[in-house]
């Protein structure tokens, strides 16, 4: 079974309420119709119903059974405005400003999620990543931990004949944190391990990537990855982590056996942690554009509730896949047991 099909089947087993705030876009409408038809999510559309109906008619999309909520006229708007004002009052937001903000679909959807009226959010087909992430941070908020950081990852699918290893991988961070320090990099690795466990259906095998393998080069950038590896191992000693490690040793067993005699992942990484955004963004695009991998994301981790981004160049298939992933993330959060909190704290740098 393919990775994406497994995620879709997992979503179907326990559909969650996923809010889409870009109901004027035909790609979003098509994905919403498919998600409802396939019963992977209880889709909530936010936007102007008249405009959405017009767009659907123009593109031959049947919206039967889908409800589109207009934030400007919704009975929930005042309640959401009051909540937003409480959340942002320390930043100087007034109730009038909150009322104006919640008239906008993106803000309305995030308050809906924050208040528990939805289980996950997907946006970015129309809005910029900056707008999507900023609103999620301001409204949904980051997890309350001294070491918490909101980061992104791509679910990369390798399924073509020329791919030496078939299946899914997590690439992080490829879209958000520009230059993480050692503590942040360790946190990204731990959060990515949780994402891998939820989405790949197999234990995470983490590679802390560098241009050096176990001290083969000396540089401040190498030192950062070495420190991050130590911190991640201290916080979660049960995880399989190699680092610092070059990419070839992370994904090719024969090279791993030559370069790392005591490897934990033996050249079979399914989670690649890039040292900075330059490497991560370039890496996932190389895998997608030259390697033919399917890239699902950017997906966010480290928020209080699942709120995911899309590329503005996304297709309806991309949106459908992110809806399914968001549903699985919501399931994971709902079912998280206290035992998972072992990953909650990264110790201070020694």
Cis before 271 (ω within 30): no
The structure's pTM equals 0.87
Same domain? 159 vs 281: yes
Please state, as a whole number, how many other Cβ atoms lie within 10 Å of the Cβ of residue 313.
7
Same domain for 117 and 190?
no
Statement to judge: residues 52 and 95 lie in one domain: yes
Q: What is the pLDDT of residue 348?
A: 39
User: Within a domain: residue 329?
Assistant: no
Helix, strand or coil for residue 176? coil
Whether 26 is in a domain gets the answer yes
Three-point CA angle 307, 310, 315, nearest 5° = 135
- Structural tokens at position 324: 């399914």
pLDDT of residue 153: 94
| Number of domains forming the structure of the chain | 2
- Predicted pLDDT of residue 337: 43
Same domain, 181 and 290: yes
State residue 347's pLDDT score: 44
335 belongs to a structural domain: no
Rounded to whole angstroms, the Cα distance separating 185 from 134 reads 21
155 in the same domain as 137: no
Examine the fold and report which residue of 96, 122, 141 is the final residue of a domain before the chain moves on: 141
Q: Is residue 342 predicted with pLDDT exceeding 60? A: no
Answer whether residue 331 shows pLDDT above 90.
yes
The DSSP output letter for 172 is E
35 with 124, same domain? yes
237 and 117 assigned to the same domain:
no
- Last residue in a domain, options 89, 109, 141: 141
State the residue range of the domain holding 64.
Answer: 3-141
Lowest-pLDDT range, 117-126, 202-211, 225-234, 341-350? 341-350
In degrees, rounded to 5, the angle at the alpha carbon of residue 298 between the alpha carbons of residues 87 and 128 is 60
- The pLDDT of residue 2 is 85
Asked whether residue 30 falls in the same domain as residue 118, the answer is: yes
Is a pLDDT exceeding 60 seen at residue 339?
no
d(CA 289, CA 300): 22
Per-residue confidence (pLDDT) for residue 1, from 0 to 100: 64
pLDDT at 140: 93
CATH number at residue 228: 3.40.50.10750
Q: Which ranges of 62-104 would DSSP assign to H, the alpha helix?
A: 77-88, 95-101
Q: How far apart are CA 300 and CA 315, in angstroms?
A: 19
Angle in degrees, 0-180, between the axes of helices 26-38 and 316-335, rounded to the nearest 10: 50
Pairwise CA distance, residues 138 & 76, whole Å: 19
Instruction: Kindly give the interhelix angle for 316-335 and 182-200, rounded to the nearest 10 degrees.
Output: 100
In a domain, 8, yes or no: yes
Length, in residues, of the chain: 350
- In order of 13, 32, 116, 148, the CA distances from 188 in angstroms are 28, 30, 26, 9
Tell me, what's the pLDDT at 173?
94
CATH number at residue 60: 3.40.50.10950
Q: Is residue 310 part of a domain?
A: no
Average pLDDT, the chain: 90
Same-domain pairing of 170 and 133: no
First to last CA, the chain: 44
Query: What is the rounded distance in angstroms from the CA atom of residue 81 to the CA atom of residue 345?
Result: 33
Contact 234, 216 (CB under 8 A): no
| More confidently predicted of 37 and 333 | 37
Question: How would you list the strands of the sheet with 307-309, edge to edge?
Answer: 68-69, 41-46, 16-20, 120-123, 307-309
Q: Please determine, for residue 42, whether its predicted confidence score (pLDDT) is greater than 60.
A: yes
**What does the pLDDT look like over 156-175, one tens digit per residue?**
999 888 887 778 999 999 98
311 or 21: which leads in pLDDT: 21
Question: Could you read off the pLDDT of 78-137 as tens digits, one per residue?
Answer: 999 999 999 998 888 999 999 999 999 999 999 999 999 999 999 999 999 889 999 999
| Domain stops at, among 268, 294, 320 | 294
Residue 146: C-alpha distances to residues 93, 313, 345 (Å):
26, 35, 7
Q: What is the pLDDT at residue 145?
A: 66
Mean predicted confidence (pLDDT) in 57-85: 92
**What are the start-end ranges of the H helices in the chain?**
3-13, 26-38, 49-58, 77-88, 95-101, 105-114, 129-135, 182-200, 220-235, 247-251, 253-259, 277-289, 316-335
Reading the block at residue 138, the tokens are 């301001």
Out of 10-14, 229-233, 338-342, which region has the weakest mean confidence (pLDDT)?
Answer: 338-342
Residues 76 and 46 occupy one common structural domain: yes
Query: Are 184 and 208 contained in the same domain?
Result: yes
Average pLDDT over residues 138-152: 82
Same domain, 114 and 202: no
Q: Is residue 306 part of a domain?
A: no
Strand partners, 17: 42
- Closest to 314 measured CA to CA, from 12, 25, 68: 25
Residue 217 falls within a domain, yes or no?
Answer: yes
**Residue 218 in domain:** yes
Please determine, for residue 336, whether its predicted confidence score (pLDDT) is greater than 80.
no
Token digits of residue 188 = 């990204």
pLDDT tens digits, 240-253: 999 899 999 999 99
Percent of the chain topping pLDDT 90: 75
């Amino acid at each position: 079974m393919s990775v994406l099909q497994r995620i879709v089947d997992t979503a179907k087993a326990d559909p969650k309420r996923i809010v889409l705030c870009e109901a004027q876009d035909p790609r979003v409408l098509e994905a919403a119709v498919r998600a409802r038809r396939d019963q992977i999510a209880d889709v909530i559309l936010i936007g102007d119903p008249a405009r959405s109906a017009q767009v659907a008619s123009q593109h031959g999309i049947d919206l039967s059974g889908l409800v589109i909520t207009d934030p400007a006229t919704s009975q929930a708007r005042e309640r959401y405005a009051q909540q937003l004002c409480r959340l942002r009052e320390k930043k100087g937001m007034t109730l009038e400003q909150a009322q104006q903000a919640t008239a906008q679909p993106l803000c309305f959807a995030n308050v809906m999620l924050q208040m528990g009226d939805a289980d996950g959010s997907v946006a970015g087909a129309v809005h910029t990543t900056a707008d999507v992430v900023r609103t999620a941070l301001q409204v949904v908020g980051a997890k309350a931990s001294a070491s918490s950081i909101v980061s992104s990852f791509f679910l990369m699918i390798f399924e073509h004949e020329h791919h030496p290893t078939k299946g899914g991988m997590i690439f992080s961070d490829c879209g958000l944190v520009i230059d993480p320090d050692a503590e942040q990099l360790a946190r990204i690795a731990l959060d990515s391990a949780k994402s891998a466990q939820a989405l790949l259906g197999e234990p995470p095998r983490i590679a802390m990537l560098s241009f050096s393998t176990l001290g083969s080069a000396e540089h401040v950038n190498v030192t950062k990855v070495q420190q991050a590896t130590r911190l991640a191992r201290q916080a979660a000693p049960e995880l399989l982590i190699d680092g610092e490690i070059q990419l070839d040793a992370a994904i090719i067993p024969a090279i791993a056996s030559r370069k790392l005699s005591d490897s934990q992942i033996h050249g079979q990484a399914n989670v690649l942690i890039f040292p900075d955004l330059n490497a991560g963004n370039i890496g996932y695009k190389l895998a997608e554009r030259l390697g033919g991998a399917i890239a699902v994301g950017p997906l966010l981790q480290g928020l209080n509730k699942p709120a995911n981004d899309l590329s503005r160049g996304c297709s309806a298939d991309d949106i459908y896949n992110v809806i399914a992933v968001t549903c699985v993330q919501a399931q994971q959060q709902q079912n998280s047991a206290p035992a998972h909190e072992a990953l909650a704290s990264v110790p201070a740098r020694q």
